[in-house]
Amino acid sequence: MTQTLANDLIQLLRDKIPNELIVFIVSLLPVLELRGGLIAAKLLGVNLVPAFAICYLGNILPIPFILIFIKNIFNFLRNKKGFSKLIKKLEERSLSKSEKVKRWRNFGLIMFVAIPLPGTGGWTGALIAALLEMPVKKSFPLVALGVLIAGLIMSVVAYVIPGTFGL
């Protein structure tokens, strides 16, 4: 799914904006994040080191905003027609994935973000941290470290293992 979404965005934006900006945009988006950004970078022929830096920054940029503002945004939208069910679903889905974070706290949050599987990553990790009311000063570095580890894993997968993603 990540590769398909990354491919679709590449096709939409290719020849309109620079490849590096495409990679940055992909990395900013929930679901795709750094994982999708590194796949897009590989598909676009962006070298690993700049791709890693762009993807990391793109993935990390929204995290403080999620940690600080998401609960207020959810509370505001909860009473708006059409948003109540979505907010409830996002909260329930995130909290259902929070058991390891609750059990292992700091290490659990790092590992949840670091392991590049569907439904994990910086956005969901930050949402879980916010819903569990973890302090921002503590949770931001943990999420950032998790994104860094996920980036290292995905760099190996996308750039080192031959034939990954059909390249």
What ranges in the chain are assigned the alpha helix state H? Answer: 2-13, 19-28, 33-44, 48-60, 63-78, 84-96, 99-104, 106-114, 122-131, 136-155
pLDDT band at 166 (very low <50, low <70, confident <90, very high): low
- Of 57, 19, 49, nearest to 147 by C-alpha is 57
Please indicate, yes or no, whether residues 125 and 137 belong to a single structural domain of this protein.
yes
Q: Based on the domain organization, do 160 and 90 belong to the same domain? A: no
What's the domain range around 30? 2-60+152-166
CA distances from 118 to 53, 68, 79, 112, 140 (A): 22, 24, 29, 11, 21
Give yes or no: residues 88 and 31 share one domain. no
Same structural domain, 50 and 6? yes
In this prediction, residue 96 carries a pLDDT of: 85
User: Amino acid identity of 16?
Assistant: K
CA distances from 160 to 24, 27, 48, 122, 155 (A): 21, 20, 10, 23, 7
Q: What is the band of 161 on the pLDDT scale with cuts at 50, 70, 90?
A: confident
**Residues 105-124, mean pLDDT to the nearest whole number:** 92
How far apart (Å, rounded) are the C-alpha atoms in residues 144 and 126?
10
Is there a single domain that holds both residue 67 and residue 111? yes
Q: Give yes or no: residues 67 and 145 share one domain.
A: yes
Same domain, 144 and 158: no
Whether residue 92 sits in one domain with residue 33: no
Q: Which residue has the higher pLDDT, 6 or 153?
A: 153
Question: Span 46-70, mean pLDDT?
Answer: 97
Specify the 3-state DSSP secondary structure of 31. coil
85 and 24 assigned to the same domain:
no
Identify the pLDDT of residue 167.
55
Give the closest residue to 109 by CA, choosing from 73, 74, 134, 72.
134
| Backbone φ and ψ of 39, nearest 5° | -65, -45
User: pLDDT tens-digit profile of 91-101?
Assistant: 888 888 888 78
Centre a 10 Å sphere on the Cβ of residue 137 and count the other Cβ atoms it contains.
8
Clarify whether residues 33 and 56 are in a common domain.
yes
